[in-house]
Amino acid sequence: MVDARQLPAGPLTIEANETERAALAKRFGLVAVESLAAELAFEPDGNDVIARGRLRASIVQSCAITGDDLPAAIDEELLIRFVPDSVPAEPDEEIELEADDCDEVPFDGSRFDIGEAAAQSLALAIDPYATGPGADELREEAGLLDEGKAGPFAELAKLKKGGSD
């Protein structure tokens, strides 16, 4: 936790321990989170706090096609704006979001959880449909075609080939 009233003078590095990594793997449906670290520098911006830095992780996820273990390295630039919690919108009220709003993390009181922000950033960086080296072969065996072979333009290509023979 970081106190918005007493921001660290220099960059702050956090690293998930074994228990935290196991909990994150379970939370995100991963085989394992082998490492997770973030380094962030903080600067005040009115009542908000801007955190800039880097997230690095080594994960093992399942291939979306074969289910085989698939190691992946994540190296993401982070830009997070911690904003004081405001009055929530009414359930039926429409909220307009700008591109910068997507990286806003609300906090209550004067403290915010950079560990949770790093965990959420990890979740966003994971490829939900990652495939390994045996995926194409398994797709072919199952009769699944990629978009190029099964899409509408593939049918046009067949007609064109048939017409030019």
Express each pLDDT in 20-42 by its tens digit: 999 999 999 999 999 999 999 99
Which residue in 6, 35, 23 sits closest to 111, CA to CA?
6
Q: CA 153 from chain center: how many Å?
A: 32
- Evaluate if residue 133 carries a pLDDT over 50: yes
- Evaluate if residue 89 carries a pLDDT over 70: no
This prediction's pTM: 0.74
Helix, strand, coil % (nearest 5) of the chain?
30, 35, 35
Whether the CB-CB separation of 4 and 112 falls below 8 Å is answered with: yes
* Per-residue pLDDT at 17: 97
Tens-place pLDDT, residues 43-85: 998 888 999 999 999 999 998 878 888 999 999 999 999 888 8
Helix (H) or strand (E) holding 26: helix 18-28
* Per-residue pLDDT at 165: 45
* Per-residue pLDDT at 137: 75
| Spatial distance between the Cα atoms of 56 and 125, rounded to a whole number of angstroms | 10
State the average pLDDT over residues 117-139: 85
Token digits for 165? 């023979």
CB environment 88-106: b (16+ within 10 A), e (fewer): eeeeeeeeeeeeeeebebe
Percentage of residues in the chain having pLDDT higher than 90: 44
Name the more confident of 157 and 34.
Answer: 34
